[in-house]
Amino acid sequence: MLRGNRKALVPFIIKPQRFSNYSQIYAEMREIKNRNKNVCPSKSIINDIISSSEIENKIKKLGDIFALPEKEPSLEEIIQSAQEERVLESFVCFEQDIEFLFNKSIRSVISNLKKEKESKNILEKSININDVRFIENNVFKDLEQSDFSDPLLGMLFKFLNQNLENDFSKEKEFLEQQFIDHVNYFYKINSEVSSAENLTLSQKIQEYVKMRYNKIDLNIAAYDGRYIYAELYILIRCGLYKEAEALLAEQTIFEEHFVDSLENFFRNTPNKQVSTFINKNDDFFKVTIYKLITIPSSCENNLVLSTFEDVIWANFFVSQQQESIDFNNFNFDIKQSRTKLLVAIMTKNYSEAVRIIINGEFSAVDTFFLGKELLKKDDRETILFVNFVFLIIKQCSSVDTKLKVISSISFLSQEEICLKLIEFDMLEILSLISDEYKLKVIELLRNSNNKILLLKLHYMSGDVVELYELLSEALIEEINSENVLKNISDFSYFDVYTFLKGKNFVEEQSKLSILTNFLQFKIEQSIESLSRTDIFKEDCFDIIKNLGCTEKIIMLACEVINKNNHQFYAKKLVELANKLRISNFVQQNLLKKLIYVL
């Protein structure tokens, strides 16, 4: 195959030598001649080669001996070379695809391991019993803000109950209302005015900025004793745009360009920044407002935008109808879980919010009610939340309250709820809730081949038809297994057999009766127990030939007959094997072992 600049060579294993340094060859051959001139006379060929006038020509001819003359590549060689290149390119693409899939798989495995670890940590979480009682009594009630351990959590719960828009308008309004509440609270605590209720919010803000901000640190410009730019910023921060416009009209200190920029922003037509208009010595509030309302806007953290809420609000303020904001883009060093939760909810990262509230130091009441609302927005963390809910259900005081809590999360994945019913061994609840859950649990148990819980489930519900089939399967498995039982009562599902027998569901010569006698024979392994089986009864042949343990019983019977040298049963067993048409392998083994008995 030809690739690149390869040449067709004669079939030598090693490529012929190519001479590139003629001077070195000449010097070495001259040295050889001088070293050996007293040993052997110089020959004419050596003299010819050493001759400086002919050396290059001689070496060239010597090199050409080993190479075929150059020729144009054939069409077949060109096609073959092109096909080779395609194969190599395809292989490179294949390698890249494999690498991508491998990395994706690794990331998925790591993510699943993290989730498993979180789920295990949740199961170890302690829950206050008083919180459980509160949830039991209020699971379907509309909670008040005061029902939560933190006023902020109550506000977030109320906020999540709204029909939120695709953009961030509601989130922006929430942060503005939160700031208004902060202003009112701050004024109430720090003001000496006793009749604060009679003051407007604008009047409170006028005093708030003086109490809250340091004039020197923020380079605040005062006009007639008022921090005008600080007041304007707080009005905008609270979403009070009409009051802000009224302040602009009332005060004459604002530059025309500043007023024009703010009014254009309110009309959704922001101006471009004029670099000469703002300088470093200006009022920090003036600079911040101007950067927010002009293009390109700037909302980085500073002395004015000093909290997480401020920075998020500023992003909403300057954004143009964005539908998503990446939680990871906010590179805050957030220590408090409540602040992390606020940031996650405000940025619509509801799955992250679920993880924060479940893994954080929140009460069970806060986690349960907030978690439900968050999962209505984004159900990706259903498993984590359902784990937590079942810790609560486990401590509920009655089956009725357990049902209420389960019903309250019925909007979540039915499969996850059913898996937890199985894991927490709460199958008794299935008879009291929708049949859909019971059918799903049965499906999951069958897929996992968990006969113990399946039998338990049908045993509790009194479903004798399903119990009959499941017990038959369990008996066949036990007979075919290598387990050694001392008594039939040691059989794992003996209580189920007793239950069915008490219901008169175990008839003579029925499938269940035949299997029970087979198991009894396997345990005792005697001629007496063999005679009590139905294996030699012709009326039972149709049932016996379709059982999955018939050959096992026949070989076991062969050993017992051989051991007791019982000729009568030996003949009957050989006849039975022929009638049932068991495998040739079993028939041959049977005859070999019983030949001397017969």
Q: Examine residue 434 and state whether it is found in any structural domain, yes or no.
A: no
Q: Examine residue 180 and state whether it is found in any structural domain, yes or no.
A: yes
Q: Examine residue 152 and state whether it is found in any structural domain, yes or no.
A: no
Place of tokens 């002395």: 303
pLDDT at 354: 92
The 10 Å Cβ neighbour count of residue 440 is 18
Q: Examine residue 80 and state whether it is found in any structural domain, yes or no.
A: no
Contact status, residue 497 vs residue 468, Cβ threshold 8 Å: no
| DSSP class per residue in 455-518 | HHHHHHHT-HHHHHHHHHHHHHHHHHS----SSGGGSTTHHHHHHHHHTT---TTSHHHHHHHH
Dihedral of the alpha carbons of 188, 189, 191, 192, in degrees to the nearest 10: 100
What value does the CA radius of gyration of the chain take, rounded to a whole number of Å? Answer: 45
The 10 Å Cβ neighbour count of residue 578 is 11
Q: What CA–CA distance (Å, rounded) separates 152 from 345?
A: 12
Can the peptide bond before residue 296 be classed as cis, meaning omega within 30 degrees of 0?
yes
Angle CA(190)–CA(193)–CA(196) in degrees, nearest 5?
95
Contact status, residue 590 vs residue 573, Cβ threshold 8 Å: yes
Q: What CA–CA distance (Å, rounded) separates 470 from 482?
A: 20
Residues 179 and 314 in one domain: yes
Nearest CA-CA partner of 305 in 325, 328, 324, 288: 288
Q: Which domain holds residue 206?
A: 169-318
Place of tokens 């809730």: 433
Q: Where are the alpha helices (DSSP H) in 238-300?
A: 241-250, 256-266, 284-293
| DSSP class per residue in 85-149 | HHHHHHHHHHHHHHHHHHHHHHHHHHHHHHHHHHHHHHHT----HHHHHHHHHHTTS---GGGSS
Domain boundary among 251, 283, 318: 318
pLDDT at 275: 58
Q: What CA–CA distance (Å, rounded) separates 368 from 131?
A: 10
Q: Examine residue 444 and state whether it is found in any structural domain, yes or no.
A: no
Domain boundary among 54, 69, 84: 69
| DSSP class per residue in 323-386 | S---GGG-------HHHHHHHHHHTT-HHHHHHHHHHSS--HHHHHHHHHHHHHH--TTHHHHH
Handedness of CA 75, 80, 86, 92 (dihedral sign): negative
Q: What CA–CA distance (Å, rounded) separates 161 from 451?
A: 43
Q: What CA–CA distance (Å, rounded) separates 183 from 446?
A: 61
Domain boundary among 263, 285, 318: 318
Q: What is the pLDDT along the chain (598 residues), one digit of tens a residue?
A: 444 444 444 444 444 455 555 566 666 666 766 766 665 554 555 555 455 556 566 656 655 554 555 566 677 777 777 777 777 777 777 778 788 888 888 887 787 777 666 666 665 667 889 999 999 999 888 888 889 988 899 999 999 988 777 788 899 999 999 999 999 988 888 877 656 667 888 889 999 999 998 888 888 888 888 999 999 999 999 999 899 988 988 888 888 888 888 888 877 777 666 656 677 778 888 888 888 887 766 666 678 888 888 888 988 888 754 555 555 555 556 677 888 899 899 989 999 999 999 888 889 999 999 999 999 999 888 888 988 898 899 889 888 899 899 889 988 888 888 888 888 878 778 778 877 887 887 788 777 776 667 666 766 666 667 777 777 888 888 888 888 888 888 887 777 777 777 666 555 557 888 888 888 888 888 888 888 888 888 778 888 888 888 888 888 888 888 888 888 888 888 888 778 777 778 778 777 777 766 6
Q: What CA–CA distance (Å, rounded) separates 576 from 573?
A: 5
Question: Looking at the 3D structure of the chain, how many domains does it have?
Answer: 3
Which residue type, as a one-letter code, is found at position 595? Answer: I
The burial of 568, by beta-carbon neighbours within 10 Å (0-12 exposed, 13-18 middle, 19 or more buried), is given as exposed
pLDDT at 253: 85
Handedness of CA 132, 134, 136, 141 (dihedral sign): negative
Q: Examine residue 47 and state whether it is found in any structural domain, yes or no.
A: yes
Place of tokens 């089986």: 533
Residues 183 and 61 in one domain: no
pLDDT at 277: 67
Nearest CA-CA partner of 555 in 527, 593, 516: 593
Residues 58 and 185 in one domain: no
Q: What CA–CA distance (Å, rounded) separates 564 from 596?
A: 12
Contact status, residue 365 vs residue 135, Cβ threshold 8 Å: yes
The model's pTM: 0.63
Q: Examine residue 219 and state whether it is found in any structural domain, yes or no.
A: yes
Residues 173 and 312 in one domain: yes
